Amino acid sequence: MSSSRPRLLVSGDSDEATSQFCRIMGDRVELIPPGIPGAEADGILFAGEFAKRTQDLQLCAQGFLDSVPDALVLVDAENKVVWHNQMLQDMAGSDSSLIGLSFWEALGNPEVISPTVLPTALPTNIDPGPDRILKAILKMAERKFVAVRASRSPLPPGKGQTLPLTTIVVRDVSEEILENQKREALYRAGIELGDLSPEEVTEMSPEDRSELLKDKILEYSQDILGFETIEIRVLNPTSGELLPLLQVGMRSEAATRQLFANAEGNGVTGYVASTGNSHLCEDTQSDPLYLSGAVDARSSLTVPLIMHDEVLGTFNVESPGAQGFDQKDLEFLEVFGCVVAMAVNQLQLLVAEKVTTATESSARLRREIALPTDDILSSATAILEKYIGHDPDVCEKLQSILDNTRTIRGQIIRVSEEVDSGDVAFPGTSSRQRVERPALKGKRILVVDSDETVLKSAHDLLDQHNCTVEAVRSGKEACQMARTHHYDVVLTDIRLPDMNGYECFCEIQEIDGRLPVVLMTGFGYDAGHSIVKSRQRGLKSVLYKPFRREQLLSEVEKAVTPPPPHQ
């Protein structure tokens, strides 16, 4: 340097502290203002806000940004990379800097598979504008996906540029995407398993029906889900033995092993069948319940097949990797297990039934699936509430479960109506004899009662009039359903396991003040005065049990019929 005085380059805006520094140092140092091209300096004087963030700058200098698990990228107005951390090179599999390449070239020209905000191709100027974030999912390879978030950078444009820089965060979401694909396969399989038409099954022998079920489960478990080792056993309610229905990939001694629904001495399968609780075995070598199944199994997942709170059997999958399944897999497989149970029960009913016409068969099947599908809807809704606001992908897939379960039930109902040429085959009742009630057609009704007989009666009576009935057994479940789904009316008993009728009425009104509520009660003393207090809060209708058919239909019809406009 030609000057004997130290030269300090000022970084940041000048402030009082800088002025004070100049007064103290006098002419012993030379300060170089920011923005002077080609200025040479012996050091940097951090001023203004920069001075307050020297610790942040030191961390960055020590490699903090390179240790971030996401790729951080700055691009200019021409979409060229002007800076990136080490993670971008790792994601791109590059040994050299990617600066100067376009953002797309740096990632190997990936495919945009989920342009939630971004167009199908980023424009030359990808500046998202102030206070806006652009998002997209990119597919880099067959099993590699990244999520991209772009926002305007607070850094000033580079030399010779006027447009602001854009900050892009790239996150590897391969695991999440592949898990979601697996869940979607589970839901599709569930729909297909429940979609057996009368033409497919009524003319089959019991053996053929069993083979059809096994073929479908095997197809979806292997080809779609990727489960190479599965085992399904059906419970003999008389002996308690768990009889093999379908086994693939199991050792021969495991496939022929005699197991009973007993929590002790019968492995994970016996424990699950005995308790009705699912079991996630993260490491087969340390789980005391696990009995050797597949040769190389290191983890397993076993869920009960349940209908009407009765265990029909077990569904087990195994993986060669330790911790091959997690809690999310368990929750979704439990829902899938319910659908498999419906398919198993469907075939068992068709094998065992003594009815002589397809009309009687379809009507019985329709009644049998009513409450189990209600339980699936309630369970999936409860799980959905846990993930709302935390995991949008999980919420989307749970909503898919709810939609598909309703679709399955609707398909079965439509098939039964087609089979009996429009007659609803309930004992002593046919569609030719009933009075049509147009006000009820297409209405969605939520029934809340701990008495299963009441729930079945509501299904039997209201389903005949083209209503959609969904039933739960507690006030908490009712509120979960009301928050998540649309209903035209709620019928709730005043004596629920977890709250009284007045409490349930008030909570539902807080969720949707326009949703009509009908309280149901038996004749007798109302200890909680639910009806009186609810009437004071605006309750319009009460239904006394045991109700007659006409009473139920009339009260529901009044509740879903809007009042006439004021003259």
In angstroms, the CA 259 to CA 365 distance is 30
pLDDT tens, position by position, 433-458: 456 788 888 899 999 999 888 888 88
Strand order in the sheet with 166-172: 81-84, 71-75, 166-172, 144-152, 134-141, 111-114
Clarify whether residues 379 and 480 are in a common domain: no
Domain boundary among 153, 172, 191: 172
Clarify whether residues 344 and 275 are in a common domain: yes
Q: Are 488 and 467 contacting, i.e. CB atoms less than 8 angstroms apart?
A: no
Per-state percent for the chain, helix, strand, coil, to nearest 5: 40, 20, 35
Q: Are 465 and 441 contacting, i.e. CB atoms less than 8 angstroms apart?
A: yes
Clarify whether residues 221 and 86 are in a common domain: no
Q: Report, as an integer, the average pLDDT of 27-31.
A: 75
Residue 565 lies in a domain: no
Residue 60 has φ and ψ, to the nearest 5°, of -65, -40
Beta pairing partners, 170: 71, 148
Compute the Cα dihedral for 66, 71, 73, 79 and give only its sign: positive
In angstroms, the CA 488 to CA 557 distance is 10
pLDDT value of residue 377: 84
Query: How does DSSP classify residue 27?
Result: G
Q: CA 498: distance to chain centroid?
A: 26
Clarify whether residues 232 and 103 are in a common domain: no
Clarify whether residues 57 and 83 are in a common domain: no
Clarify whether residues 26 and 72 are in a common domain: no
Domain extent at residue 192: 179-387
Percentage of the chain exceeding pLDDT 90:
20
In angstroms, the CA 303 to CA 481 distance is 24
DSSP 27-64: GGSEEEPTT-TT---SEEEE-HHHHHTHHHHHHHHTTH
pLDDT value of residue 311: 92
pLDDT tens, position by position, 88-102: 999 999 999 898 898
Query: How does DSSP classify residue 117?
Result: S
pLDDT tens, position by position, 391-442: 787 888 888 888 878 887 777 766 665 554 433 322 223 333 456 788 888 8
Residue 127 lies in a domain: yes
Count of domains forming the chain: 4
The mean-pLDDT minimum among 316-320, 343-347, 353-357 falls in 353-357
Residue 333: which of 260, 281, 374 has the closest Cα?
281
Residue 71: which of 54, 52, 94 has the closest Cα?
94
CATH of the domain at 225: 3.30.450.40
Which residue type occupies 382?
A: A
pLDDT tens, position by position, 166-196: 888 999 988 888 777 766 766 666 666 655 5
CATH of the domain at 114: 3.30.450.20
In angstroms, the CA 522 to CA 544 distance is 5
Mean pLDDT of the chain: 77
Q: Are 82 and 76 contacting, i.e. CB atoms less than 8 angstroms apart?
A: yes
Clarify whether residues 242 and 370 are in a common domain: yes
Clarify whether residues 466 and 381 are in a common domain: no
Strand runs (DSSP E) across 229-354, as ranges?
A: 229-235, 241-248, 259-260, 279-281, 299-307, 310-319
Clarify whether residues 160 and 40 are in a common domain: no
In angstroms, the CA 472 to CA 470 distance is 7
Residue 566 lies in a domain: no
**Which helix (H) or strand (E) is 145 found in, with range?**
strand 144-152
Query: How does DSSP classify residue 500?
Result: B
Q: Report, as an integer, the average pLDDT of 496-506.
A: 92
Q: CA 426: distance to chain centroid?
A: 36
Residue 493: partners with Cβ closer than 8 Å, 6 or more residues away: 448, 449, 450, 451, 454, 501, 519, 520, 521, 545
pLDDT tens, position by position, 100-156: 898 888 998 888 886 655 444 444 455 566 777 888 888 888 889 998 888 887 766
Residue 482: which of 454, 459, 442, 514 has the closest Cα?
514
pLDDT value of residue 296: 86
